[in-house]
């Protein structure tokens, strides 16, 4: 249907919960189903701001906490023109982390912390510590209590295939509804 805008589908969650794997699988499934779909990841590490964040996350440099917070926000904002353009063209964007990760990037009920810690390479980046993840989890639980936000919680401790199928179904529903919500409402 010409003129339909794309859906903005964001996968949020704790480190090593499978967001990247599921984001890639979802883009492939949506394309197979005939939808236009592209993947975005945050932080977007190829930009100048993203390179600073990457260095910080990889523990190669230190920065003051408030500065880091502003850089994460700026990293998302520098991609807003691209996001608006793609959505207005009818492209569905699957985003691996976005604004809510800036507040707290661990979602409640998505994956038990012990399971995430057992997954490969947990702890290599700055925020991948049990104490930090527990604090972030509390932040996400507060965000999820806001019923005006359209949260869908997925239990990421299940098989990759089961998680993928649930995310795919939820995403198809979001795509079907995308035409009814003006693009401008996404940035209020």
Residue-wise pLDDT for 86-117, tens only, equals: 999 999 999 998 887 766 542 322 544 555 55
Average pLDDT in the chain: 82
- Kindly indicate the confidence band of residue 172, based on its pLDDT and cuts at 50, 70 and 90: very high
Distance of CA 84 to the CA centre of its chain: 17
Q: Is the pLDDT of residue 43 over 80?
A: yes
Name which residue leads in pLDDT, 179 or 56: 56
The set of residues, in sequence order, having a beta carbon less than 8 Å from that of 57 and lying 6+ positions away, is 43, 125, 126, 127
- Range with lowest mean pLDDT among 82-86, 152-156, 160-164: 152-156
**pLDDT surpasses 80 at 182:** no
The DSSP bridge partners found for residue 10 are 95
For residues 107 and 81, which has the higher predicted lDDT (pLDDT)? 81
On the question of pLDDT at 136 being above 80, the answer is no
Mean pLDDT calculated for residue range 3-21:
86
The residue with greater pLDDT, 141 or 125, is 141
Pairing of strands 92-96, 37-41: parallel
For residue 130, pLDDT beyond 50: yes
For range 147-169, the mean pLDDT = 89
The 8-11 sheet, strands edge to edge: 8-11, 92-96, 37-41
Task: Round to the nearest angstrom and report the end-to-end CA distance of the chain.
Answer: 26
Q: Which residues of 28-49 are buried (b: 16+ CB within 10 A; e: fewer)?
A: ebbeeeebebbebbbbbbeeeb
For residue 155, give the DSSP letter: -
Rounded CA separation 138/143 (Å): 9
């Amino acid at each position: 249907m010409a003129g339909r805008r794309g859906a903005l589908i964001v996968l949020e969650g704790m480190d090593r919960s499978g967001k990247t794997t599921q984001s890639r699988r979802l883009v492939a499934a949506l394309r197979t189903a005939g939808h236009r779909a592209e993947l975005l990841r945050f932080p977007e590490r190829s930009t100048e701001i993203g390179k600073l964040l990457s260095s910080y996350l990889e523990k190669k440099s230190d920065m003051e906490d408030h500065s880091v917070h502003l850089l994460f926000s700026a990293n998302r904002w520098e991609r807003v023109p691209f996001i608006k353009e793609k959505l207005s063209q009818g492209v569905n964007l699957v985003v691996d982390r976005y604004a809510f990760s800036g507040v707290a990037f661990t979602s409640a009920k998505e994956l038990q912390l012990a399971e995430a810690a057992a997954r490969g390479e947990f702890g290599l980046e700055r925020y991948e510590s049990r104490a930090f993840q527990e604090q972030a989890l509390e932040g996400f639980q507060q965000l999820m209590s806001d019923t005006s936000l359209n949260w869908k919680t997925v239990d990421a401790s299940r098989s990759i295939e089961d998680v993928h199928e649930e995310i795919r179904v939820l995403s198809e529903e979001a795509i079907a509804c995308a035409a009814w919500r003006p693009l401008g409402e996404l940035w209020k």
